[in-house]
Chains A and B, each alone.
Chain A
Amino acid sequence: MSQTEVKTEYWRWPEYRNTAPNVNWNNAKAITAGVDIGSVGSKAAVLVDGELYACAAMRTGGVSEATAVKVIDWALEGTGLEIGKLNYVVGTGYGRVNVPFAKRTITEIACHARGAHYIYGPTVRTVLDIGGQDCKAIRCDDKGKVLSFLMNDKCAAGTGRGLEVFADLIRVPIREMDKVSLDVDQDPPPVSNTCVIFAKAEALALLRQGWSKEKVAAAYHIAMANRIVDLLSRVGVEKDFVITGGVAKNMGIVRRLERILNIKPLEPRMDPILAGALGAGLFAKALYEKEQGLR
């Protein structure tokens, strides 16, 4: 480590890769992959006959094509597979058009619905995806087919980015924001401004008035949850309800959503941030099988 001061980046979340220990690709009929290039995070999921085998999640770099290659290479690391061995790859997400090795791109809405069914099961009817720079609400049927959707990627409020701004403001690492926001005896009134810029100014005034950072974090989490519920109400919420995307791991948001909606979201059996990539990988399997069927 050098002597120079390392600037603590409060908004950075950890990157990782993983291989499922009980899955192997030796006799696989279809080895497919989904790559989800988000504006903040990029994810890759490799599936063996429709079951998750390897995955990786990393921050999206400046050039989407390079990130796409990086994330799939990282997912494949140590598996003995390389891009050429993949039977079919589907790209999705904000930068989905920038996955050079993908055979097709499919809208992130459809991929998220499909991926949510994989992660949470066939009872899923409402998917809420809170990503780094957008917020999506999806209603689907028992097959994961989309019945209604809404996406907001114009406004930072209600997205991970809003949380990052606040994490930076109160100097709390983004991973701990939820814990900090729940560390209050009683939920304070929410910040009154939806706009992140105005909310930040409001929060500064509150801090100056003597509010603790826990209280400010709580006030913002509640405001964010209220806004998300507003968006959700446009498509309607039907059980079972699930949350995907990076912010799904923020218990400060999840607990408040539960309270307002009076519905408990299902517990994920794996990292919900992978929903888009998983769904894309599943679409890749279906498309590959269709292709093979035609031959």
Chain B
Amino acid sequence: MRAHYGYKDGSGDYFIIVETDKCNGCGKCVEACPYQVLEMVPNEFDLEGNPMAAVREEHRKKIKYSCAPCKPVAGERKLPCVLACEPKAIEHSW
């Protein structure tokens, strides 16, 4: 299941997408994020409720700003959460 966390406003589309079918609940992305943007939550969409990665409630409406420090205008772009995820379950739309 593709869970999109974030928003679209006049300035652009900002979504962190978690592919819950690929997410193995390891939590490495949560540790890797320098700004505590992510957390593990029980999956509310299936009966088992296995842990899956999600964007914290307080960051969902300002994800553009929360993730800004990891997206410098110049230089190489290294997103710690994406790099930490082995099953490649997490992606950024911008």
| Contact between A and B in the complex (any CB pair below 8 Å) | yes
Interface set of A (CB-CB < 8 Å, partner B):
106-107, 109-110, 145-155, 157-158, 193-195, 198, 227, 230-231, 234-235
Interface set of B (CB-CB < 8 Å, partner A):
1-4, 6-10, 13, 15, 44-46, 60-62, 93
Q: Point out the residues of chain B lying under 8 angstroms from A194, CB to CB.
A: 9-10
Contact yes or no, A230 B10, CB < 8 A = no
* Total of A-B residue pairs, C-beta within 8 Å: 57
Contact yes or no, B10 A235, CB < 8 A = no
Closest Cβ of chain B to A154, distance in Å, is 4
* 20 A/B residue pairs, CB under 8 Å, sorted by A: A107-B44, A110-B45, A146-B1, A148-B1, A148-B2, A150-B4, A150-B15, A153-B60, A153-B61, A154-B7, A154-B9, A154-B60, A154-B61, A154-B62, A157-B10, A194-B9, A195-B10, A230-B8, A234-B13, A234-B93
Q: Point out the residues of chain A lying under 8 angstroms from B93, CB to CB.
A: 234
Q: Point out the residues of chain A lying under 8 angstroms from B60, CB to CB.
A: 153-154
Q: Point out the residues of chain A lying under 8 angstroms from B61, CB to CB.
A: 153-154
Closest Cβ of chain B to A184, distance in Å, is 25
Q: Point out the residues of chain A lying under 8 angstroms from B9, CB to CB.
A: 154-155, 157, 194-195
Q: How far is B62's CA from A104's CA once the two chains are assembled, in angstroms?
A: 28
Q: How far is B46's CA from A51's CA once the two chains are assembled, in angstroms?
A: 23
Q: Choose one: B4, B8, B13; the contact of A149 (CB below 8 Å).
A: B4
Q: Choose one: B4, B10, B44, B45; the contact of A155 (CB below 8 Å).
A: B10
Contact yes or no, A155 B8, CB < 8 A = yes
Closest Cβ of chain A to B18, distance in Å, is 11
Q: How far is B46's CA from A107's CA once the two chains are assembled, in angstroms?
A: 11
Residue of A nearest to B21 (CB): A147
Contact yes or no, B45 A145, CB < 8 A = yes
